[in-house]
Structure formats: C-alpha cells, structure tokens
Copies of this chain bind each other. A is one copy, B any other.
Amino acid sequence: MFVQATESSTGVSHDVARLGRLVRGLPETALVVDAITGLGTTDLQPDEWGLDIVIGGSQKALMVPPGLAFLGVSEKAWKLIERSKLPRFYFNLARERKAQSKSEVSFTPATTLVVALHTALEYIRSMGREKLIANAAMLAEATRAAASALGLGLFAESSPANALTAVSAPAGMDSGAIIKELRARFGAIVANGQGSMKGKIFRIAHLGYYDAPDMFALIASLEIVLTKLGHTCELGAGVARAQEVYLGFVEQEAQAAQAGRP
C-alpha cells in the first residue's frame, strides 16, 4: 500500500498511523509511506505504527538542496523484498543493504549532498527533532488562522499538513496573480497549484528553517497584495491572528519545559 504522509501539491495530511494498524495484520502487504514532506514536519513512528518503508528527501524539512532520497525499511518489508520477483536494478534494496554493510554503495551517490545532509542532521539533532516538527506545526496553524482572518478558504480544511498550507484564492481571483505580486513586490516565493488546481490555490511552506518572522513577513505581504488586487481585508488582521497562535505556542512550550523540571 502506497501513501503520502503529507502531500505537497495540496497540503493534505494522511492518517498513516491508522493505515499502519490496518496493514500490520496483513502479512503479504507492506505500507510504503512517501514522507518527503512529512519527514521533519509530522510525528512519524515507523516501528510503533507499522510503517514498513518510510521515504524521505533532502530538499524539504532537511534543508538540503534537492538530489537525495533515503528510506527506512522494516523487517517485514525486508522479508517481502527478499522474496520479490519484480524487475528492478537501481531500486534493488537488498543489493544496496549488502553494499552499505561494507560501508559501500551500489551506485555512485551525490557525495556533496550527502555531506550537506550530514551537517543538516547534526543541526537537527542539536535542536531536537521534536522542535523541528513543532515549529512547522506552529507555522501551519498560525498561517491557517491568518488565512481565515483574511477571508480565504483552505484547501485541506479537515486534514491539513504541517509542511505547507494550500490557500484558496478569493473567488474570481487567479492565484497566479497573487504569486506574481508577492514575488515582484517582496521577493516572496509561494507556489501555485498543480494540474487542475493551477490558478485556484497558492501554497505557503512551513518546513525546515522557516521561522515565525518569515511567516509574519509573508502574511503582511500577502495582506498588501490581496488589497492591491481588490480583495477586501483588514491590514494586519492576519498577522495579529498568527501572532496570537505564536504566543500560545511559546506559552505552551514554557509550561512544558517547567513541568519537565524537578
């Protein structure tokens, strides 16, 4: 079974923990989780939840340029892989595991990116993986609150991802115009929708090194752009909601830290 943990074209989050419970009871099925944007933005417990293969990429919350993918494989999945007769060459994981057991690799890797990844992982370890995830969750929650305050709809209302937020453009306004203005006026880069969603949504990232000031700046810029494009909204209203979410988060963190002390 193949699923995304979170989905970067729409900002949707999937309940992989529940899927893991279902698949755990099926001996012939592995749960393969594309966690490219999920890794470092969402709590993932591969062993506890029965996620058999979890795939990450260098270019999202790990803050490294694109070019690397990596995956964790459960013992259950290894057994299926060893029996599998599907044709594969570069994706021969058994061969790669054997090579890595000798500190080698099956094929020439992008060595400079591996070195960059090492540095990024050291940084994440120094801050704590949970803080990286909590930061994305806070930015996402604050952005959703701001979007609502500005009268904008959310694409993934019931199950939003932490990695990014997909915001609907106001009725009759092309999201491409918002994106263009943000970039031209403020050098702020947000992404358009893909495929059938092009022109309908714009996507704001929250992962990795994005921080609260980045978010405040983007929301304030967005308020100006929307106003210029004819959407009625109160300047500062989105920022104020985001600030409240931020302060609530900081307060919670402080309480948790205090509770953790003797």
Q: What residues make up the interface of A, taking CB atoms closer than 8 Å to B? A: 57, 59, 65-68, 87, 108-113
Contact = CB atoms under 8 A, between A and B. Distances in A.
Given A66-B112, A110-B110, 15 more contacts: A59-B108, A65-B110, A65-B111, A66-B108, A66-B109, A66-B110, A66-B111, A67-B67, A67-B109, A67-B111, A67-B112, A68-B110, A112-B112, A112-B113, A113-B113
Nearest to A67: B110
Contacts of A87: 87
Contacts of A112: 65-67, 112-113
Q: How many copies of this chain does one complex carry?
A: 2
A25 B149 CA distance: 68
Contacts of A66: 108-112
Contacts of A113: 65, 67, 110, 112-113
22 contacts: A57-B108, A59-B108, A65-B110, A65-B111, A65-B112, A65-B113, A66-B108, A66-B109, A66-B110, A66-B112, A67-B67, A67-B109, A67-B110, A67-B111, A67-B113, A68-B110, A87-B87, A110-B110, A110-B113, A112-B112, A112-B113, A113-B113
